[in-house]
Copies of this chain bind each other. A is one copy, B any other.
Amino acid sequence: MFVDRLVESIKSKKNPSVVGLDPRIEGIPGYMLEKAYREFGKNLKGVSMAVYWFNCGLIDGLRDIIPAVKPQMAFYECLGVDGIDVFHKTVKYARDKGLLVICDGKRNDIGSTANAYSKAFLGMADLGENEKTPVFDVDALTISPYLGYDGIKPFIEDCRSYGKGIFILDKTSNKSSGDFQDLCTYNGKSIYEIVAEKINEWGESLMGQCGYSSIGAVVGATYPNQAKILRRIMRNSYILVPGYGAQGGNGDDVVPSFNSDGLGAVVNASRSIIFAYKNSIYADKYDEADYVCAAREEALKMRDDINRALEKKFG
């Protein structure tokens, strides 16, 4: 079951943080882009191959210290078919190296269509006459809840059948997340609280041996006060916490998403880690060819920051 594998990896690496593989072209080292342009042309294929090399470097350099990577689909989709190919290759590469892969796709649709998305990421595609094949085959996927339960159910079923997980958007990390998520309903609860109650309820059917569910939630590091409330509502949900680092969240901000056992949440940072070599604090130490070393140093700093904050709070 996904959540047991996640918790085991978090415990063995003593690290509740994951790294977002969100490769923006402006962050890829110039030498890497130029080599890819020379070999594949200055086109989507060229950029995609540079992304793949960039990702492989990060995976090799971080695999022993992080439990999972979180590739963001948008950054692969915007490179077209070649980008999707590199997304798929990245997933395989990361899993082969022992990392869990949480795909940040925020997919959502009505029942039968949600089922097709679920097949793409978690389950198996139909080849006719009862032959099936895995497709992208990630370990977990993020899901948007706006369409309600029948759009979530197919994913839950595949989580059960294939040992996968989902993280359902609840209170997202962005500035405008309150536009609809914070709306207060007639009974005094906000939308994010009602979504959380549903996530908690749906999660009960898929509890792992670790005491947490493979049906998790997304709660941004940028909203620690809401996280406190949500942690209480979703006692057994694993919470994926984006918004650490470039978006402004720090170790103390993510603590409310954890339980007193020091578990229950996994924190993501993307830009601040993978493009750390561009950070002025590393300017004298690393150049672009050392991007993996800079990422590793920053990832260790993040791990220690979160563990220190957890230690302070829970002892």
Contacts and interface: CB of A to CB of B under 8 A. Distances in A.
Interface of A: 22, 24-26, 33, 37, 42-44, 46-47, 72, 74-75, 77-81, 84-85, 88, 104, 106-111, 113-114, 116-117, 119-121, 125-128, 131, 133, 135-136, 144-151, 169, 172-181, 183-186, 188, 191, 194-195, 198
A32 to B, nearest CB: 11
Given A44-B135, A111-B174, A179-B198, 4 more contacts: A43-B127, A77-B116, A77-B120, A183-B185
Contact of A120 (B80, B106, B194): B80
Given A150-B174, A185-B183, A79 B135 contact: yes
Given A77-B120, A178-B148, A22 B113 contact: yes
Nearest to A119: B78
Contact of A146 (B75, B144, B184): B144
B106 A108 contact: yes
Contacts of A117: 74, 77-78
Given A88-B81, A116-B74, A108 B33 contact: no
Instruction: Kindly report how many copies of this chain are found in the complex they form together.
Output: 2
Contacts of A26: 126
B119 A147 contact: no
A26 B42 CA distance: 40
Contacts of A176: 111, 147-151
A9 B259 CA distance: 57
A184 B144 CA distance: 20
A234 to B, nearest CB: 16
A184 B22 CA distance: 37
A159 B119 CA distance: 31
Contacts of A180: 145-146, 148, 191, 194-195
A53 B223 CA distance: 49
Contact of A110 (B149, B174, B191): B174
